[in-house]
């Protein structure tokens, strides 16, 4: 019996973990869809000539309504999916952002909901394990990147 192999294409996206403090409480911004009760991080495909960092900033702005300051690269996730007779090997690059303006009321229609959650609730609500890992890595960056005594732009207690 012959098996047909689907053609394989590489795909790349970039997105962000957006954080803020409400007093001492760290909150993470996540995006949700009514269909399937899916919650995820903002991300999307680069436009012609865009760097991954520019893509991440644009997607954060479009999908959440917020402008953000890029703080750090968090890491990337890689997964496979099939669509329209093609298998895709996708890499999504994630960056850490702090909000600098805008309003979550102005998010695009790709998501039904955009909301702030305490980080521990956000990781329970996120649908995909790889995105939970990105939030946890972001928290680790905020806690450990700066040596004791050095100014920590994230304000996260060690």
| Cα-Cα-Cα-Cα dihedral sign, residues 127, 116, 110, 8 | negative
- Show me where the domains of the chain are located: 8-144
Output the CA–CA distances (angstroms, integers) from residue 101 to 65, 68, 130, 152, in the order listed.
9, 7, 28, 21
Question: pLDDT, tens digit, for every residue of 71-114?
Answer: 999 999 999 999 999 999 999 999 999 999 999 999 999 999 99
65 φψ region: left (φ > 0), alpha (ψ -120 to 50), beta (else): left
8-144 maps to CATH 3.90.79.10: yes
% of the chain residues with pLDDT over 90: 78
Higher pLDDT: 151 or 81? It is 81
Predicted confidence at residue 4, as pLDDT, reads: 57
Beta bridge partners of 11: 90
- Measured between alpha carbons, how far is 41 from 39 in angstroms, rounded to an integer? 7
Question: pLDDT, tens digit, for every residue of 47-60?
Answer: 999 999 999 999 99
- Measured between alpha carbons, how far is 149 from 47 in angstroms, rounded to an integer? 41
């Amino acid at each position: 019996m012959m098996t047909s192999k689907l053609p394989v294409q590489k795909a790349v996206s970039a997105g962000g973990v957006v954080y803020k403090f409400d007093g001492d409480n760290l909150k993470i911004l996540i995006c949700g869809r009514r269909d399937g009760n899916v919650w995820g991080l903002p991300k999307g495909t680069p436009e012609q000539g865009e760097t991954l960092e520019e893509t991440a900033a644009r997607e954060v702005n479009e999908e959440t309504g917020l402008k953000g300051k890029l703080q750090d690269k968090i890491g990337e996730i890689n997964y496979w999916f099939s669509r329209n007779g093609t298998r895709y090997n996708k890499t999504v690059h994630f960056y850490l952002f702090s909000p600098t303006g805008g309003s979550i009321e102005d998010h695009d229609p790709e998501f039904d909901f955009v909301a702030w959650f305490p980080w521990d609730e956000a990781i329970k609500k996120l649908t995909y394990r790889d995105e939970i890992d990105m939030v946890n890595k972001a928290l680790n960056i905020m806690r450990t990147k700066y040596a004791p005594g050095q100014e920590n732009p994230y304000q996260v207690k060690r």
